[in-house]
Amino acid sequence: MAPKPSLWLTLALGVTLVGMTHATDHIATPAKDPNLWLETIHGPKQLDWVKQQNAQTVKQYADSAEFKQLDARILEVLDSHDRIPMVSKIGDLYYNFWRDQDHPRGLWRRTTLEEYRKDQPTWETVIDLDALGKAENENWVWHGAYCLKPDNQRCLVALSRGGADASVIREFDLPTRQFVKDGFVLPEAKTDIAWKDKDHIYVATDFGPGSMTTSSYPRIVKEWKRGTPLASAVTVYEVKTDDMSVSAFRDQTPGFERDFVTRQIAFYDSETFLRGKDGKLTRIDVPTDANTGVHREWLLIEPRSDWNVGGKTYKSGSLLATKFDDYMAGKRDLTVLFESTDATALDGYSWTRHQLILNVMDNVVNTLEVLTPQPGAWKRESLGGAPKLSTIAAAAVDEDHNDDYFLTVSGFLQPTTLYLGTLGQGEAQAIKHSPSFFDASKYDVSQHFATSKDGTRVPYFEIAPKNLQTNGKNPTLQYGYGGFEVSLQPAYSGSVGRAWLEKGGVYVVANIRGGGEYGPRWHQAALKANRLRAYEDFAAVSQDLFDRKITSPAHLGAMGGSNGGLLMGNMLTLYPQLYGAIVSQVALLDMQRYTHLSAGASWIAEYGDPDKPQEWAWIKTFSPYANATAGKKYPPVLFTTSTRDDRVGPVHARKMAAKLETLGYDTSFYENIEGGHGAAADNKQAAFMSALGYTYLWDHVK
C-alpha cells in the first residue's frame, strides 16, 4: 500500500487546532489596524457584528422568492436519491457515507457487491450521525473511519463538532456496530492516528504545552497501548517546533508489514523513515521534496525537482519505481514509469494487487494506462481516455486481494458514470449512472488558451449556450484556484447548471499557474515571489473572453474559495477594471498576519514568511488586505466564510469586509456559524451558500 496520508495532506490547503482559534495577542501586529478586534473568533461582540452583517446580506440577496426557489433547486441536487453512492471496500462489504433530506448529518452504511449493483440497493446502517448527535447533544459532522486490516473488526472513527478540522476520535466495533466501551478515545484536537495492531495505535495529537508546531499540528507522535493512560504512551519521534507536523503508521499488507514515520518539514518537504522492531528509524534517502509510496515489494518516487542519482538525472514530475528492500540496501536502480512533457503531467496512480494504474493529464484531459511490473521496462497497456474535454479516473477496489478497479467518467455536461472492471478481463461495465439535473443538449464545452503577460499559454474551459451571441454581453462566471498544485478538471455540477447555465450564463474554469495542470513546474511557476503570475494568468483569461466578445467587464463575475479566495481578493485590488462583481469564499486575505492566524504557518512554503522583511517586500504585492485603498473603482464583492473554519479561519474575510465597508465600497459578508473550511456542515447549508454566491454574481452581471 502507499503510505497513509499524513494529517497535513488529508486536510491540505488550510489548517488550525482547537485552542488556536482566537487572536494570538502576544504576536507583534501591524500598527493602526482598526479591525484587529475581529480576530477574536468567538467573542460576543464579534459574533454580534457577524449576525448584523449576515442579516444585511440575507435581506438584500437571500430573501426573495427567486432566491428561495434556487436554494431549493440546488438542495434538490445535493439531496437527490439518484446520486451515485460512492463506496470503499472494507473486508467483504462496501461502505458509503450518505446525506439526504432525511439524514442531513448523514449515515455511514454498508452493503454487499451484489446489492450495490442494483438500482436500489438494500443498505445496513452502521452509524446514524443524526441519531448519534441527538442522543449526545452534539452537532457531529463525519470525518471518516480508519479500520484495522486484515480483520477489519475495529475502526477509529473521527467526528467533528460543527465541521471544524479538529476531531474527536472513538474506537468502533464493526460487527456489533457499537462504540467500544473503554476503547481508544481522544478528545477534540487536530489528531493523526493509525493502527499498529489491535492493542496499539500511533497517535500524534495535542499532548499539552510544547507538543504542537507553529503550524498548529502535532509535533510528537507516540505509540499508545490499549488500557493505559495516554500520558504513558511511548514517544516514537519528535519534530522541530517550526516543522509542520509528524505522523506514523503501519503498512498492514499481509507479508509486507512495515512501520513508517513521516516528518513533514514544510508543505512540500518531508522525510519518511522505516521504523524497525527495535524502534530505530532509517530514512528513505530521497530528496525532501519528493513524494514516496510503498506497495508490497515496490517503492515509487515522484521527484518534484530534477534529481541526480546513480549517475542519472530524473525529471521533475516523473514517476520512478524500484524494489524497496534493494533501495534501502543502497542500490539505485530506478525504472522510469512516467516522464512529463510540455503538455502532460501525472495526475495520480493506484495499485491493484498485481498492476499499477496511471492517470495522466494531457492539456488537462485524462488518459489511463496500466503498467505491469517486469524486469526492465514495465509492460504498458492503455485503459482508455476520457471523452472529449471530460475527466476519467480509475482506482483499485481492493489492492491486497485482486485487480478489480472502479472507473469514473464525468464532464461539464456529462453526469458521472461509475464502472467496475478487472484488469486483464475485458472492458469495465457501467454499474451506476448519476442523474442529469439540467438539459445539457443546449450547451457546448470548448477549451481555449489565453496568453499571459509573460507569454505563457494558459488553458481554460468554457461552457456556453450553443446559440451564444458573441456580442460581449453574456453574463459570465469565471472560476479559478491557482495554488498548491491542485488541478481544475472537467466535472459535472448540477448546481452550476441550474444556477448559472439555465439562466443563459457562460461558465469558465481557468487553469492558471500555481495549480497542477502541468505538474510541479506549473505550480512552482507561481510560488512565493512569483505569485503574481497566477493573477496575471487569471486576468489574461478574462481579457481573452473580452477579445473573443464572449463578455465584457460589466458582465463578468469571478469566484474562488480558500487559495482561490485569495485569488479573488487580488483580482479585486489588482484588476478591478475587469469585473462586474466578485465572490471570495473562505479566503486568505491578510497576508501580513496569515502565519499567525489559524494554521497559516502551514503555508509558508506556498506564499513565504511575512515576518521576514525581505519576503514581506513581495508578499505585500499580493496581500489584498494591505493593498485595499480608498479612491479606487472596486466592483461589488461578497465574502463568505464559517465561524468553525479552523483552517483559514473567518478572520480574513471579517477584516477585509470591515475595511472595504469603512472605505465606502459596495461590500457584503456572510459567515455560516457551522461548516468548517467547506463553509457548510450539511447539504442544506451547502445549498444556501452556493445559492448566495450565484445569486450575488447574477444580480450584478446579468
pLDDT in tens, 112-123: 999 999 999 999
What is the dihedral angle through the alpha carbons of 396, 400, 401, 404, rounded to the nearest 10 degrees? 0
CB 281 within 8 A of CB 273: yes
| DSSP summary character for residue 632 | -
pLDDT mean over 568-573 = 98
Give tens-digit pLDDT for 267-325.
Answer: 999 999 999 999 999 999 999 999 999 999 999 999 999 999 999 999 999 999 999 99
**Does the pLDDT at position 25 exceed 90?**
no
| Residue written as grid cell 473568533 | 41
- Domain boundaries in the chain? 35-75+438-701, 353-396+402-435
Topology at the third CATH level for domain 35-75+438-701: Rossmann fold (3.40.50)
pLDDT (0 to 100) of residue 701: 98
- Report the helix count and the strand count for the chain, using DSSP H and E: 15, 39
Tell me if residue 677 is catalytic: yes
**Does the pLDDT at position 8 exceed 60?**
no
Asked if the bond preceding 150 is cis, omega within 30° of 0, the reply is yes
Question: At how many degrees (to 10) do helices 532-547 and 563-574 cross?
Answer: 70
Residue 106 zone, left/alpha/beta (φ > 0; ψ -120 to 50; rest): left
pLDDT mean over 187-208 = 97
**Does the pLDDT at position 127 exceed 50?**
yes
pLDDT (0 to 100) of residue 126: 98
**Does the pLDDT at position 11 exceed 70?**
no
Cα gap 557→582, rounded to integer Å: 6
More confident residue, 653 or 384: 653
Catalytic residue among 103, 555, 652, 677: 677
Tell me if residue 167 is catalytic: no
Phi, psi of 657 (to 5 degrees): -65, -40
pLDDT (0 to 100) of residue 396: 97
Pairing of strands 298-302, 319-323: antiparallel
CB 371 within 8 A of CB 355: yes
Proportion of the chain above pLDDT 90, given as a percent:
91
**Does the pLDDT at position 255 exceed 50?**
yes
Give the confidence band of 32 by pLDDT, cuts at 50, 70, 90: confident
Cβ neighbour number for residue 162 with a 10 Å cutoff: 20
**Does the pLDDT at position 673 exceed 90?**
no
Q: Which segments of 278-410 does DSSP mark as H helices, in order? A: 324-328
Cα gap 98→79, rounded to integer Å: 9
Pairing of strands 344-351, 356-362: antiparallel
Buried/exposed code over 214-251 (b: 16+ C-beta within 10 A; e: otherwise): bbbbbbbbbbbeeeeeeeebeebbbbeeebbbbbbbbb
Query: In Å, how far from its chain's centre is CA 335?
Result: 30
pLDDT (0 to 100) of residue 385: 74
| Residues whose CB falls within 8 Å of the CB of residue 136, separated by 6 or more in sequence, listed in order | none
**Does the pLDDT at position 18 exceed 90?**
no
Cα gap 667→659, rounded to integer Å: 9
Give the confidence band of 30 by pLDDT, cuts at 50, 70, 90: low
Average pLDDT value over all residues in the chain: 93
Cα gap 21→7, rounded to integer Å: 18
Catalytic residue among 270, 318, 562, 690: 562
Q: What is the pTM of this model?
A: 0.93
User: How would you list the strands of the sheet with 667-672, edge to edge?
Assistant: 443-451, 457-465, 506-510, 476-479, 556-561, 581-585, 637-642, 667-672
pLDDT (0 to 100) of residue 676: 75
Q: Distances in Å between the alpha carbon of 345 and those of 39, 180, 333, 493? A: 40, 45, 23, 25
Give tens-digit pLDDT for 395-419.
Answer: 999 999 999 999 999 999 999 999 9
C-alpha cell of residue 667: 461590500
CB 107 within 8 A of CB 97: yes
pLDDT (0 to 100) of residue 49: 98
pLDDT (0 to 100) of residue 31: 60
198, with CB counted inside 10 A (0-12, 13-18, 19+), is exposed
Give the confidence band of 637 by pLDDT, cuts at 50, 70, 90: very high
Q: Longest C-alpha distance within the chain, in Å?
A: 72
